[in-house]
A and B are shown apart, each in its own frame.
Chain A
Amino acid sequence: MTDALFVLFAVVSVGGAVGVVTGRSPVASLLFMVATLASLAGIYVLLEAHFLAAIQVLVYAGAIMVLFLFVIMLLNLGHDYRADLRFGSWSLLSVVVVGLTASVLVQGITGSEADAFGGHLADPAAAAAIDLAVAEKGAVGAIADPLFTDYVVAFEVIGLLLLVAIVAAVVLAKPRGRSEDA
């Protein structure tokens, strides 16, 4: 059952990803993207990361993608069907290069027989510890606890990051005319 679901989600997510790359308009790409994000959320569930699955849908598919959509609409690109996919030799070359890169990467990750990927890594204890934490503190609590203790600095940096993003977005997206009187 789990495996079948995984295959399903995987197929959907890859299909969505291909759709993003090949989508004829930004909106199409965006919708494919949403499909991918959603199926990834499904996979997160399969991987027992329920909280992440939730915010994946909420934040990513919900907020960020909508932001994209807003911008597409704002710039009136919704019906921009001009071909912007590079066809021909460029694409071919790109596919070859990226394919090579991916295969090298996969080959590297897989490793040699003796050091078969995953075999060495599979540490049931870790999964058990996570499950235990989730059981004790709930899906949110299991993440929140280390987040606000061990990773509190990172959390603060995230805060600054968002602040900077806001400032930057405001400064950059402001229409030109009005800033000049500053």
Chain B
Amino acid sequence: MTELLAAIRYEDWVLHALIWLPLAGAAHVVASSAERARLVAFGWSLLVLGLSLGLWWAYDPGDGGFAMVSSATWIERWGVGYSLGLDGISIFMVLLTTLTSAVAILGSFEYVKTRRRAFYSLMLLLQTGVVGFFLATDVFLFYVFFELTLVPMYFIVGIWGGERRIYAAVKFFLYTAVGSLLMLVAILYVYFAGDTGSFAYDAFLHAELSLREQLWLFAAFALAFGIKVPIFPFHTWLPDAHVEAPTPGSVILASVLLKMGTYGFVRFALPFFPDAAQHPTVVSTMLALGVVGIIYAAWVAAVQPDAKKLVAYTSVAHMGFVVIGIFALTLNGLQGGMVVMISHGVSTGALFLLLGMMYERRHTRRIEDFGGIGRVAPLFATAFVVTALASIGLPGTSGFVGEFLALLGTFERHPVHAILAALGVVFAAYYMLPMVQRILFNKLDKPENRAFAELSRREIAVLGPLLALMIWIGVHPTPLLERMEPSLQVVLERVEGGEAAAAVPAAPSIGAERGNPAD
């Protein structure tokens, strides 16, 4: 595999291809007919997915720096470059994006019935924006892609959404924009006050800023990313957006767009403002918000009558784990945060797909309208249960690895927060199991539900990869962890100014100890 990739000089062009091929696909979709649009779009997304898989082999973690770097001048006078790079953090975000995009497009075949060409071209456009965001190593470029994702999503929610779609779409758009524009100002501040001379990522790393400045700038970045994540008091756009969005929109929103926030923390906010990031007030605030998010969102989720809204709130809770993992500022915490991001992308994406399938069949999302579905659609029920379990972090599924590491990492530094956050494990069961029960179990007492169709082949193809990933990551996450580790280590060292490097010993040789336990 590695040889093959080297032979086709994969590293040289793949990042560009991943960004711009979806755009080409969007153009192709526009040019095709409404009937063929979905197939064309799926074909392109599959192509991109296929190409992106090569990253798994082509990416060598090395010292955790950027690989496959390519850079071209874009706006010379401002020091803006079209610079891309891949590291152990972004690779998984990119893979997640390409995967969920393909899956979401395939999953929307029956859901989207109007203006298909517009829909699929927007989906591909969205993919361009998201992949670009994850690959950009120029702050200006990153900002452009960050904002660029808003427009397609705005229209996806606004045009193909439910009753209150416009409210939801606008709320989503404005809320995110508030944060991002303030972040733009902050970026400019770094550019000038830090005298970076360019918008290159590395140049921003070298900006010299006082603690006071860093705190303000961090606040701006944190607001932008915190809204995107969303962190506790800024979360109310999410349930609205999710409930109103069409299934594929929800899938992308949950799987990928939310990750842009947490990724932003890891990639930008922490390394740019290390002093602020480890300022006790900042850390305790962020941790507190994360913990509150975990518990509060779980509670609110538990009493939702609308299944989609419930799952939307669970996203807030899950992202709370990511937040505490990140702001624990330990390697385990960061790793855990990353795994939760991936896991949440897969499992919540799958949940939204499943809810979408329910909606297609019954045209309702109210939990009380279901019941006993397990008897008429066992495959569906099986997929649902597995996904739900992955979502609440049962060991052996992806959710556990992430939450475990995040909590462990948090506990190392902030035991009280970790203890409170660990209660989220209980509340996860508190919100998820009743939903599972009320949808899949209980009496099949509503005649409409008797006709609830079993999963079709296409739907199996949609869910299959996601389910496989949930189990695979749960059983053998090490390949992911070892690819992330060097890059996260770099972030950590940057934040802690090199202290982390000394504090983390080489992997202990437990094997030896185990063979001869010391007396």
Chains A and B in contact, CB within 8 Å: no
